[in-house]
Amino acid sequence: MTQLTRRTSNRTVRDLQREVDSIFDQFFGRGSNDDASTVWAPRTDLSETDDAFRLRLDVPGTTKDDITINLQNNTLTVSGERSSERQKEGEEYVRVERAFGNFHRTFTLPDAVDPESVEATHDEGVLTIHVPKTKTSTRRQIEIQ
């Protein structure tokens, strides 16, 4: 009769995660000794209703003055900068995971948006952009006859 034994690996998932993080840090230049600004991209949700699009971008640590929004030829561009906190005297960072520096996101919108009615709000680290559709582009149900 064959006996099954459970073999536990010497490597844990946490060790593997550290190795993968290290590889990405080296590739993207995010090493712990790197003081240069990091390029980062805010996480974004894009939703659509019958009459508008809504974008919500996570931009904690920014103010509305740190962000620029442009809409040209149906291309919505959101850019800005999140400044890094300066070290206090006698304090040395052991690990830095929060990204600082410039960010830039570009979204291509359909032709049927109303560029004159776009609105944006910044509240508790979330930038919300409301992009209304034109009246001719709103969806409607077609009844079958």
Q: What is the pLDDT of residue 55?
A: 96
Is the predicted pLDDT of residue 37 greater than 50, yes or no?
A: no
Q: What is the pLDDT of residue 20?
A: 78
Count CB atoms within 10 A of the CB of residue 113: 19
Per the listing, tokens 């809504």 go with 54
Count CB atoms within 10 A of the CB of residue 114: 14
Is the predicted pLDDT of residue 38 greater than 60, yes or no?
A: no
89 contacts 82 by C-beta, under 8 angstroms? no
SS3 16: helix
Predicted confidence (pLDDT) per residue in 23-32, tens digit = 777 666 555 4
Pairwise CA distance, residues 77 & 74, whole Å: 10
Task: Give 73's pLDDT tier (boundaries 50, 70, 90).
Answer: confident
Backbone angles phi, psi at 14, to 5 degrees: -65, -40
Is the predicted pLDDT of residue 36 greater than 50, yes or no?
A: no
